Structure 1
Amino acid sequence: MATQSPFSVLDGVFERIAQGPQPPQWLVQEAQQRLVLLINHVLMQERVATERLVPRSGRVVRVQWRQFFVALQVTPAGLFDLAAPSATPDLHFEVTETSPLGLAQSALRGERPPVRIDGAVDFASDLQWLADNLRWDIEDDMARVIGDVPAHTLASVARSAAQALRGFVRSGSARGANAVAPWSGTGPLP
């Protein structure tokens, strides 16, 4: 009995949306600024992280997925800032998974997406260390705004929902792996 993943329909929708109208440049720049603020917020929580980046001051990393990219430059304080458009990257990360659905499924499984890396190995090693050792403590940040108990409750609900979603994705992947042939779209479902 062949079963088709319920997510395969969404993949085509995501592709059409991604190929549709592009956001205005000011919106892209604003989103990139917000990303830099979030990254720096997480970096500032761990002094060892900023100390590790200080020797890399002035280096530029470009992270790209499809036509979307952001170029970040290490500041003398060991944080990141948007790099000048004319800056030559010392390191280039390109996410090779082109499907938004594939990226979402990898994230839900707790896996990192496949990445092609070109450039300075020492800089890449420092960024890998950051990716392995830094985590955003969103519960702590929420507690500063709404209090400890509501923040803990919200975080627990979010963890439970994420765990349920991961289980759903894993079970869907397992069923899809056992499938013999996909449904052709004609006639009754097998």
Structure 2
Amino acid sequence: MATQSPFSFLDSIFDRVTSGPQPPQWLVHEVHQRAVLFINHVLMQEPEAMERMRRQKGRVALVQWRAYSMALLVTPAGLFNVAPEGVSPDLRLEVTELSPLALAQSALRGDKPAIRIEGDVQLAAEINWLVDHVRWDVEEDLARLMGDAPAHQVAQVARRAAQALRQFVGARMPTGSVVPAPVTSTDRTAA
């Protein structure tokens, strides 16, 4: 017998908030620009990641979750840029889990979300490599701002807090609940 999460009301609140007025286009554009800046900052810390993406220059990947989407264009430098409006994507990545709470729980467990993949197989493989191998070195960025010792202490506290949060979420999972494995399918589109 499946037990409903005591936090399921958060999903209904999220649904009500997102079905209301949509944010203005300028705000969506700014959020996309900031996300691209962050992604590129992380990629620049890993030269192999940039080299892999250089081979995919000019390709467009569309990432979508619910009504939210973002099209990313791979630049000749091996970084990303927001794709021009109306461009046809070479790859579509759609997060199939609709519940933000379930996504947060799986992220805290360290699981990848279930994704439906359509399009270019090689671009999908490179993006999967990025997800598996590229990590943001928060401690290094903090060290630039506050020095090595304080950055190390802050990072240690953050790791302990994250571990405690993972344990809390793990303890709150209903007994006998089965976590579905990510569902992925790769289809090559006609060129």
Aligned partner of 1:185 in structure 2 is none
Of all paired residues, the percent bearing the same amino acid is 59
Q: Does 1:173 align with 2:169?
A: no
Q: Tell me, what secondary structure is at the counterpart of 2:173?
A: helix
Aligned partner of 1:34 in structure 2 is 34
Q: Does 1:164 align with 2:164?
A: yes
Q: Tell me, what secondary structure is at the counterpart of 2:64?
A: strand
Amino acid at match of 1:131: V
> Higher RCO, 1 or 2 (CA under 8 Å, sep at least 6)?
1
**Superposition misfits of 4+ residues, deviation over 4 angstroms:** none
- Residue 36 of structure 2 contacts residue 82 of structure 2 at CA under 8 Å; is this kept in 1? yes
Gaps of 5+ in 1: 179-190
Aligned partner of 1:131 in structure 2 is 131
Q: How many residues align?
A: 177
Q: Tell me, what secondary structure is at the counterpart of 1:40?
A: helix
For the residues of structure 2 that align with 1:61 and 1:177, how far apart are their CA atoms?
34
- Residue 71 of structure 2 contacts residue 89 of structure 2 at CA under 8 Å; is this kept in 1? yes
Which structure 2 residues correspond to residues 13-162 of structure 1 after superposition, within 5 A? Answer: 13-162=13-162
Structure 1 stretch 24-33 or stretch 145-154: which is displaced more?
145-154
- Residue 60 of structure 2 contacts residue 91 of structure 2 at CA under 8 Å; is this kept in 1? yes
Give me the TM-score of the superposition, normalised by structure 1. 0.88
For the residues of structure 2 that align with 1:86 and 1:174, how far apart are their CA atoms?
44
Seen in structure 2, the aligned counterparts of structure 1 residues 44 and 116 have a Cα distance that, compared at 3 Å, is: same
For the residues of structure 1 that align with 2:42 and 2:166, how far apart are their CA atoms?
25
- Residue 61 of structure 1 contacts residue 90 of structure 1 at CA under 8 Å; is this kept in 2? yes
Q: Tell me, what secondary structure is at the counterpart of 1:23?
A: coil
What is the aligned-residue RMSD (CA, Å)?
1.7
Gaps of 5+ in 2: 179-191
Cα-to-partner distance string for 1:13-57 (whole Å, 9 max, x where unaligned)? 222122222111111111100110111111111111111111211
Shift of 1:174: 3.9
Shift of 1:3: 6.9
